[in-house]
């Protein structure tokens, strides 16, 4: 893999010695993106894609939301995937009993723990602490591996956070999730909270980090969590989710591998295929410049860059082959002679330099007038050639 990453030596001192896995919540937290509705068969298709991508843990959903969510959960649970299938539950007996009936062996159990959330719900700290204790104990008594998930933990009183997580572990939680629900924590704050949580709970309790991207820091937060010992990173495909979305698993994984030297199990060559299918099923578009999966990452219009197109390491931080992408030249206002030459060769046109210059002027004029790049068919028309049948 190293021969496909061209980041230089600048990050050498930032390397992290860590073991990390991914917990995907596309089917639950991702579907909470406004306007996204996935039916059970679509969720099963996505789960299979996640499994092929190398995701170790897949959250199959929150079965009590609807009959469709329960059916989707069953389909994923019975699909024979290599990934561990996890459930999601509030610290509410009915939620936990639904998981038991489905035969779920592992689940997040969540409860809000910030005063902002508790006040909005009209619940005292002591009352919530009791709910958490009873909910975790009930799930554990049925043999469910519990990861306690303190909603809005990054805005909770640290003393209450500590008390809640310790109580959850005493009640039977085997793992713990540090949760930045509103995406407010700086990477430094995430690292500090993950480190303190590890100290409070001891080395035998694996720590997860669940981050949102409201300030564009979800990836940085995830890296900080890994540096401080988080074993599991939560995220979604394309970072889909409420508000500004969740941490993007592909982005976090590539950042860890390419910049920090942390190996992951993700099969990057499958990532763009899974990304495209998830957004197709979900009915949304991505910014074409989005890291890792954006359409423009390996496409060049600028003439200055096209002159170096033959030498990918000079203009790209990692190989297109690493993430299963195609490189290409497009023509428009910003094109140069090298752009024309490369595109002409690609389309089988034999053009002398004078003709290339004429076409460059025409391409620039057309690109400016149309306010976009030209299609290959439009370029062939300018060149006086019909497009191939």
Residue 158 shares a structural domain with residue 257: yes
Tell whether 64 is covered by a domain: yes
Per-residue pLDDT tens over the stretch 181-210: 999 999 999 999 999 999 999 999 999 999
Task: Evaluate whether 280 touches 45 at the Cβ level (below 8 Å).
Answer: no
d(CA 19, CA 171): 27
- pLDDT of residue 340 exceeding 80, the answer is yes
Domain-ending residue, one of 257, 282, 307 = 282
Task: Evaluate whether 59 touches 25 at the Cβ level (below 8 Å).
Answer: yes
Cα 15 to chain center, whole Å? 21
Residue 199 shares a structural domain with residue 303: no
- Residue 273's domain comprises 2-282
Percent of the chain beyond pLDDT 90? 95
The model's confidence at residue 366, banded by pLDDT at 50, 70 and 90, is: very high
Give residue 179's region: left, alpha or beta (phi > 0; psi -120 to 50). Answer: beta
Residue 56 shares a structural domain with residue 161: yes
Per-residue pLDDT tens over the stretch 213-224: 999 999 999 999
- pLDDT of residue 1 exceeding 80, the answer is no
Residue 177 shares a structural domain with residue 76: yes
pTM, two decimal places: 0.93
Tell whether 50 is covered by a domain: yes
Residue 79 shares a structural domain with residue 170: yes
Residue 352 shares a structural domain with residue 318: yes
Lowest mean pLDDT among 13-22, 138-147, 353-362: 353-362
Per-residue pLDDT tens over the stretch 218-267: 999 999 999 999 999 999 999 999 999 999 999 999 999 999 999 999 99
Q: What pLDDT is recorded for position 231?
A: 98
Q: What pLDDT is recorded for position 306?
A: 87
Tell whether 227 is covered by a domain: yes
Per-residue pLDDT tens over the stretch 283-329: 999 999 999 999 999 999 998 888 899 999 999 999 999 999 999 99
Residue 61 shares a structural domain with residue 96: yes
Among the listed residues 63, 50, 65, 139, the one whose alpha carbon sits nearest the alpha carbon of residue 98: 63
Domain-ending residue, one of 250, 282, 314 = 282
Domain-ending residue, one of 282, 312, 341 = 282
d(CA 32, CA 242): 6
- pLDDT of residue 138 exceeding 70, the answer is yes
Segment 72-84 shows an average pLDDT of 97
Give residue 81's region: left, alpha or beta (phi > 0; psi -120 to 50). Answer: beta
Q: What pLDDT is recorded for position 2?
A: 78
Tell whether 245 is covered by a domain: yes
- Using the Cα atoms of residue 217, residue 222, residue 226 and residue 228 in order, give the sign of their dihedral: positive
Q: What is the mean pLDDT of the chain?
A: 95
Cβ-based neighbours of 68, under 8 Å, separated by 6 or more:
39, 40
Residue 237 shares a structural domain with residue 93: yes
Among the listed residues 147, 56, 150, 142, the one whose alpha carbon sits nearest the alpha carbon of residue 104: 142
Task: Give me the long-range contacts of 258-263 (CB less than 8 A, separation at least 24).
Answer: 258/5, 258/7, 258/317, 258/318, 259/7, 259/11, 259/14, 260/11, 260/14, 260/15, 260/16, 260/223, 260/226, 261/15, 261/16, 262/16, 262/18, 262/20, 262/226
d(CA 389, CA 386): 8
Cβ-based neighbours of 120, under 8 Å, separated by 6 or more:
none
- pLDDT of residue 387 exceeding 70, the answer is no
Task: Evaluate whether 41 touches 75 at the Cβ level (below 8 Å).
Answer: yes
Residue 167 shares a structural domain with residue 196: yes
The model's confidence at residue 389, banded by pLDDT at 50, 70 and 90, is: very low
Residue 250 shares a structural domain with residue 350: no
C-alpha separations of 365 from 23, 301, 302, 309, 338 in Å: 49, 14, 15, 23, 17
Tell whether 133 is covered by a domain: yes
Residue 211 shares a structural domain with residue 319: no
| Total domains in the fold of the chain | 2
Tell whether 287 is covered by a domain: no
Residue 180 shares a structural domain with residue 210: yes
Tell whether 293 is covered by a domain: no
Q: What is the CATH number of the domain that holds 20?
A: 3.20.20.70
Tell whether 288 is covered by a domain: no
């Amino acid at each position: 893999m190293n021969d496909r990453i061209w980041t230089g030596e600048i990050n050498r001192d930032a390397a992290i010695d860590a073991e990390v896995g991914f917990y995907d919540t596309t089917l639950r937290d991702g579907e909470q993106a406004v306007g996204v509705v996935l039916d059970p068969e679509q969720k099963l298709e996505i789960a299979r894609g996640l499994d092929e991508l190398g995701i170790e843990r897949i959250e199959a959903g929150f079965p009590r939301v609807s009959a469709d969510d329960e059916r989707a959960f069953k389909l994923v649970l019975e699909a024979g995937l290599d990934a561990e299938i996890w459930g999601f539950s509030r610290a509410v007996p009915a939620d936990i009993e639904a998981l038991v009936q489905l035969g779920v062996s592992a689940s997040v159990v969540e409860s809000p723990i910030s005063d902002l959330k508790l006040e909005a719900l009209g619940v005292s700290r002591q009352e919530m602490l009791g709910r958490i204790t009873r909910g975790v104990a009930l799930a554990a008594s049925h043999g469910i591996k519990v990861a306690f998930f303190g909603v809005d933990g990054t805005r909770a009183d640290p003393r209450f956070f500590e008390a809640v997580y310790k109580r959850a572990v005493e009640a039977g939680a085997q793992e713990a999730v540090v949760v930045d629900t509103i995406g407010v924590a700086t990477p430094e704050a995430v690292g500090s909270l993950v480190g303190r949580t590890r100290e409070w709970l001891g080395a035998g309790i694996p720590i997860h980090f669940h981050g949102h991207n409201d300030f564009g820091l979800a990836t940085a937060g995830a890296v900080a969590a890994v540096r401080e010992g988080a074993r599991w990173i939560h995220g979604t495909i394309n970072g889909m989710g409420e508000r500004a979305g969740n941490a993007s698993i592909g982005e976090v994984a590539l950042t860890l591998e390419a910049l920090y030297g942390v190996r992951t199990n993700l099969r990057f060559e499958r990532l763009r295929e899974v990304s495209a299918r998830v957004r197709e099923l979900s009915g949304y578009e991505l910014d074409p410049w989005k890291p890792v999966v954006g359409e423009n990452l390996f496409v060049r219009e600028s003439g200055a860059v096209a002159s170096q197109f033959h030498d990918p390491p000079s203009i790209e931080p990692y190989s297109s082959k690493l993430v299963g992408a195609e490189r290409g030249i497009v023509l428009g206002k910003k094109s140069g002679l090298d752009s024309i030459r490369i595109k002409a060769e690609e389309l089988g046109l034999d053009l002398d330099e004078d003709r290339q210059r004429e076409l460059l002027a025409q391409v620039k004029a057309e690109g400016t007038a149309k306010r976009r790049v030209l299609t290959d068919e439009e370029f062939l028309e300018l060149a006086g050639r019909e497009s191939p049948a």
